Amino acid sequence: MQMNSQQGKHTIKVSSKLGYRSLIDITSLVDMTFLLVAFFMVTSSFGSLSSITVHLPKAVQSGQMQHANLVISINEKNEIFINDVKYPLSDLLQEFKNRRATIKDNIVIIRGDREANYETIITVMDLLNQAGIPRFTLATVKPK
């Protein structure tokens, strides 16, 4: 270790056996990663849409998409799914009664395929009423 004194400036030279060490400051990288994670958590929605493929009917006066924790999907084969789990028609009434207390704001979304049997959709609506769930929404899409 050497000390130099020139014109009022004091500097210290430190020599190391290992030579120069590189230092990478990752503070900004951690900050950016945290901001990206927070952004994706805020902008994403979880569990409100069904993964069952349903070709929804078109309607010009289609409203805003609502979020519900009970989504009923009826595909073109008239198979009925509650939150992506297939149920036979005979078990629906009991299942609706079991889930009645967990439905947020009593809103249920019915996603009926445009090729599905109209009677199947009406039967599901009737079973919802019998189970004490009078509010439900039929999902549609706006034409392009």
Residue (of 79, 65, 72, 66) closest to 50 by Cα position: 72
- Both 133 and 86 in one domain: the answer is yes
Phi, psi of 87 (to 5 degrees): -130, 140
Please state the pTM of the whole predicted model: 0.59
Res 87 pLDDT > 90: yes
pLDDT in tens, 92-124: 999 999 988 887 776 788 888 888 888 998 999
As for how many domains the chain has, the answer is 2
Kindly state whether residue 27 falls inside one of the protein's structural domains: yes
Please check whether residues 84 and 124 belong to one and the same domain.
Answer: yes
Boundaries of domain holding 30: 2-43
